[in-house]
Amino acid sequence: MSGHGLLKGKKGVIFGALNDSSLAWKIAEAVHREGGQFILTNAPVAKRLGGLDELANKTGASIVWADATSDEDLTALFTEAKSLYGGIDFIVHSIGMGLNVRKNRPYDDLNYEWYKKTLDISAISLHRSIHWANETGALKDGGSVVALSYIGAQRTFSKYSEMGDAKALLESIVRSYGYRLGKRGIRLNTISQSPTKTTAGAGIAGFDAMYKFAERIAPLGNADAESCADYTVSLLSDLTRMVTMQTLFHDGGFSAMGISDELITDLAEVYS
């Protein structure tokens, strides 16, 4: 797809790109295509897990390693962003980690230290990021902040476990902080994305079943990472300047469905 200059002149920070299957990676490519400039950031541990240098070279981005649960790291990140750009117009938050999920601890027997870390990494990091972007003077009036969520914030998907709580908190932060940012014309939204085959998704037990279930129900099928990136661009652009505090479903219609003909047929065959 060729660009339309939707983000020409806009600068920002994109959190969470790890490899070319990451949502944040696809978003960075789309932002670059539309003329945006940005800093790429991820936790220092990601240095040995991904290939962020490749994405930086491809998009002309700078890399600033920062732990999104560290006030010191975030202060340094946004201080650098302000120094580099004079201020930023957007932030993309694509961060999530369920420690109990990854270690197969059931929801009714969570390790609470891991649980607190899950909430800190997956949700509170959004609050911290906005706070320090403001405190450093980096976030400009009229900007846009977008975070990635999942329908497990609002419905129970048993294998999603503690991450459902984390995404619910993330969406609540969007509403609470969005009201306050609105006084400066800054928008804050979440995109509730289809199950997507990413490194993070692969860490969830039963992910393949969740993916196939959604694919069978959604009229358009699961939304892929590239279409999510395009949708994100629209929310970072001035075309959505009056949209804020929303959880916006980008899931091929899954969120509006109960059951589909395809799933009824499948179940009839199983239980016949």
Q: How far is CA 44 from the centre of its chain?
A: 18
Instruction: Say what the pLDDT of residue 74 is.
Output: 98
Choose the catalytic residue: 160, 177, 179, 231: 160
Instruction: Say what the pLDDT of residue 203 is.
Output: 61
Distance CA 138, CA 12 (A): 9
User: What would the pLDDT profile of 179-214 be if each residue is shown by its tens digit?
Assistant: 999 999 999 999 999 999 876 666 676 788 889 999
- Please give the structure tokens belonging to residue 202: 């692969």
Instruction: Say what the pLDDT of residue 179 is.
Output: 98
Q: How far is CA 71 from the centre of its chain?
A: 20
Element (H, E) at 191: strand 187-193
**Does residue 112 have an active-site annotation?**
no
Q: Among the residues of the chain, which ranges form H helices?
A: 23-33, 52-59, 71-85, 99-102, 112-119, 125-135, 162-182, 199-202, 207-217, 225-236, 261-271
- Please give the structure tokens belonging to residue 168: 């619910």
Instruction: Say what the pLDDT of residue 200 is.
Output: 66
Which ranges of the chain have pLDDT less than 70? 50, 199-203, 205
- Please give the structure tokens belonging to residue 185: 């014309």
pTM value is 0.96
How far from each other are the two terminal CA atoms of the chain, in whole angstroms? 46
Instruction: Say what the pLDDT of residue 210 is.
Output: 87
Choose the catalytic residue: 85, 115, 150, 177: 150
**Does residue 160 have an active-site annotation?**
yes
Distance CA 125, CA 174 (A): 12
Alpha-carbon distances of 232 from 10, 105, 151, 188, rounded to whole Å: 14, 33, 17, 12
